[in-house]
Structures are given as C-alpha cells and as structure tokens.
C-alpha cells in the first residue's frame, strides 16, 4: 500500500463540488494512509460562455486563486491554479502550462513535498511530467475528454497523446478507455471505480429517515442524481416517461448544466437541486427505482458511472441505458436500448422488487470499495517505483 508519501493530484474537477467524484475518493483514501495530498483543482477544458453557470464558475475560480493554498482535510491541501480557459490556442496553452507549473512548484515548496507521486487526471496537465521532481508520473483517465461539450476535440486529443507519451503509467476506469490508451502507452491498466460501501449501505436501514422534500413527493419515485446535462442524459427519454406515466414521480438531483424547463412543465417531474454527499443514502432510501438514463455517445460509451455502484449498494433496483461498463451488471440491472425498453424495464422493476433482490444487489458490490481500488492502484504503482529505483 502506498503510505507515508507525498502525492499530487491534478484533478479534472474541483474539490468543493456537491457530488464526490473518483478524484475526491482517491484523495481521501490516500490521506488515510498518512500520505500528504496536494489536490490541484481543474484548469478547465472548454472555453467559457456568457452564461450564469460559467460566470459563477469563473467567480468561484477567482476566489479560489486569491485564497491560494488551503487545507481541506487532514493531509489534504487544495490549490486553485491560475488558468486561461482557451486551450485551443498554442500561446495560451504554453502560458497556462507555465502558470500551472509555477503555482504547483510554489505549493510544493510551501508544503515541503519531496519526490511526490504525480497523478494527472486531465489532458491540460500534459506538460507537467518531469517538471515537479516527481518519482513517477501517472495519467489516470476516467473520461473521453475530447467528446465533452464545448471543448476543441482535436486539441484535447493532441494534448492527451502528449500526456500518454510523457507518463510512465496510465490507469483507466473503463475497458473502452483502456483499449484506446494502451495503443499509445503500453503500461496501461484498467481499474474500475469503487464505492463507499458503508456510506451507501445506510439506505438499507428501514429506520433511516427520508428527507422531507422527497418524502412529500407521491410514490412511486423514480430517482436520478448526478450532472444534469443534455450531453449526458437522454432528455427525450425523460420527457417520454413523464408524459406516458403521469402517476410516476421522476426525481432529479444534481448540478444543472442545461435548461430543464421543458422537463419541469410536467407536474410529475421534480428537481430538488444539489444535495450534500452525506445525504445521498437517505434520498436513495426514498427512491423506489434508480435510473441511469444516459444518452448514447462517445462520452457515455467510455464512462463508468459511479452512481451505478452507489445505487446497488443502497439495494435499489436500477434501470439503465445499455452501456459497456453497466452491461457487466446485467444479471442485477435492467438494461434498455431504447425508450420503450426503458419504460418496460421500469414497470418490471417497480412491480417485482423484493428484499431478497435488494440484498443481492448489495452483495454484488460490497467488495468493490475505494479501499480495495486504492490497494490495487498501489500494487501497480509500487511495482514501477521499484523498477525506477533498481534502474
């Protein structure tokens, strides 16, 4: 197990977001083993627009940069680096690389980090390997970033290739990503996402109180939490379900990336906003079925949704779009290839659920903890660290 080390995480998102991503979970598990973690928040991928969402994000970024280095948890320090989110332009990319490197080096001096292990989660960190005095550099790829909305696809692909060529190891969270990245970096490994098992198992407790804003919504409740954005979600599917089943309550939780007024015109669609991570098991307790109504595109085909294992650990029946990483759970998850199949699967899930099936779902993921994932990651990294020292 990696312990008593200094670690840098170049994240693809920010520390303070409502839903906890793989970067957050890995950082917290690393810190438990007396590792000191510098968590560097995202430098962004896409060019901002004149929208409320982007203006809020820019304001938050500016405040973060002004606060400099801050301690988020024991052994975890957060840095908001300066960046100009116009990665399409060569001069801007070069300037961003200089700013990012200098800001991290300053933090490393302040924290007195030595020979850190460098994890890079975002292609815009392409220029960092070899510049931070790291013992090893690793690209941890959890998404097909070139397919994200608003990014310059060819630029991101170019930066990612440079990153793959510059690191010693690549880790991917899906097999589809693995199959692509190993073509460039032969030291590529597949580690699927984990889960905070004990946290989400709380939803199995019949005494857990369902939050009031959910409890007042009529049953059956069909729930989703996550990023609510057209590129991720099949909004047409949600409209189809809401229109055809007025007695079903569709409950959406999470950050908005798109306008959903067209969904909220249905009285049986309920948006409850962003909820703290600590409260998610209570919301899962109040759902009758959980859904992953993803659109089918390169971004989702390469994804490994964290929420799948969280729903299953909560004992919930899950109806999901038929995607590669979800298909591995086809014996306990209802898969759908179109709107009608999704509708029929929901009807079956609502009708046929039992305590036995809930327990079976929990049993299927109980050993897929973030602790186990970190142990596997440690084994891979330590093998290459040993090779470096022997070389």
With a CB cutoff of 8 Å and minimum separation 6, the contacts of 230 are 149, 257, 258, 295
DSSP classification of residue 209:
P
Do 132 and 234 belong together in one domain? Answer: no
pLDDT at 17: 72
Q: Which residues contact 6 (CB under 8 A, 6 or more apart)?
A: 35, 36, 38, 111, 113, 114, 115, 116, 117
Q: Are residues 19 and 143 in the same domain?
A: yes
Same domain, 270 and 219: yes
Residues 349 and 245 in one domain: yes
- pLDDT tens digits, residue range 40-67? 999 876 555 545 544 454 444 445 444 5
Q: Is residue 162 part of a domain?
A: yes
189 and 203 in a common domain: no
Average pLDDT, the chain: 92
Of 17, 22, 8, which Cα lies nearest the Cα of 60? 17
What does DSSP assign to residue 171?
E
Question: Is residue 211 very low, low, confident or very high in pLDDT (cuts 50, 70, 90)?
Answer: very high
Q: What is the CATH number of the domain that holds 241?
A: 3.40.50.2000
Q: How far apart are CA 269 and CA 274, in angstroms?
A: 16
Which stretches of 76-208 are DSSP H helices?
A: 90-111, 153-166, 175-181, 197-201
Q: Domain for residue 1, yes or no?
A: no
Q: Which domain holds residue 165?
A: 6-194+369-390
- 28 vs 68, more confident: 28
Residues 265, 377 within the same domain: no
Q: Which of 115, 114, 123 has the alpha carbon at shortest distance from 42? A: 123
Same domain, 345 and 385: no
143-186 residue pLDDT tens: 999 998 888 899 899 999 999 999 999 999 999 999 999 999 99
The pTM of the full predicted model, rounded to 2 decimals, is 0.91
In this structure, the answer to whether residues 188 and 309 fall within a common structural domain is no
Number of domains the chain contains: 2
Please check whether residues 131 and 223 belong to one and the same domain: no
On the 0-12 / 13-18 / 19+ scale of CB atoms within 10 A, 277 is middle
**Is the pLDDT score of 23 beyond 80?**
yes
pLDDT digits (tens, 9 = 90+) for 358-381: 999 999 999 999 999 999 999 999
């Amino acid at each position: 197990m990696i312990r008593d080390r200094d670690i840098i995480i170049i994240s693809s998102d920010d520390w303070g977001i409502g839903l906890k991503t793989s970067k957050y979970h890995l950082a917290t598990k690393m810190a438990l083993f007396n590792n000191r973690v510098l968590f560097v928040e995202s430098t962004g991928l896409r060019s901002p627009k004149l929208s409320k969402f982007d203006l809020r994000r820019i304001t938050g970024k500016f405040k973060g940069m002004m606060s400099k280095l801050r301690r988020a948890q024991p052994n975890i320090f957060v840095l908001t680096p300066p960046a100009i989110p116009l990665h399409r332009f060569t001069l801007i990319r070069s300037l961003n690389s200089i700013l990012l490197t200098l800001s991290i080096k300053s933090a490393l001096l302040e924290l007195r980090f030595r020979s850190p292990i460098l994890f890079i989660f975002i292609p815009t960190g392409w220029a960092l390997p070899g510049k931070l005095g790291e013992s090893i550099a690793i690209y941890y790829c959890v998404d097909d970033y070139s397919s994200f909305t608003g990014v310059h696809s060819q630029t991101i692909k170019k930066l990612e290739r440079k990153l793959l060529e510059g690191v010693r190891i690549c880790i991917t969270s899906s097999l589809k990503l693995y199959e692509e990245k190993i073509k460039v970096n032969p030291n590529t490994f597949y580690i699927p996402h984990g889960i905070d098992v004990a946290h989400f198992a709380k939803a199995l407790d019949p005494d857990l109180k369902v939050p009031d804003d959910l409890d007042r919504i009529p049953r059956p409740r069909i729930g989703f939490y996550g990023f609510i954005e057209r590129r991720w979600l099949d909004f047409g599917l949600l409209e189809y379900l809401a229109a055809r089943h007025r007695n079903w309550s569709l409950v959406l939780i999470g950050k908005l990336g798109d306008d959903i007024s067209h969904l909220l015109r249905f009285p049986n669609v309920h948006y409850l906003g962003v909820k703290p991570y600590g409260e998610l098991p209570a919301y899962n307790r109040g759902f009758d079925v959980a859904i992953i109504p993803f659109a089918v595109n390169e971004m989702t085909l390469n994804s490994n949704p964290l929420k799948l294992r969280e729903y299953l650990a909560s004992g919930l029946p899950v109806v999901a779009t038929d995607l590669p990483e979800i298909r591995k759970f086809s014996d306990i998850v209802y898969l759908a290839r179109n709107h009608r199949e999704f509708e029929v699967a929901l009807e079956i899930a609502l009708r046929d659920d039992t305590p036995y099936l809930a327990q079976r779902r929990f049993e299927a993921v109980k050993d897929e903890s973030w602790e186990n994932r970190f142990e596997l990651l440690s084994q891979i990294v330590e093998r290459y660290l040993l090779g470096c020292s022997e070389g």
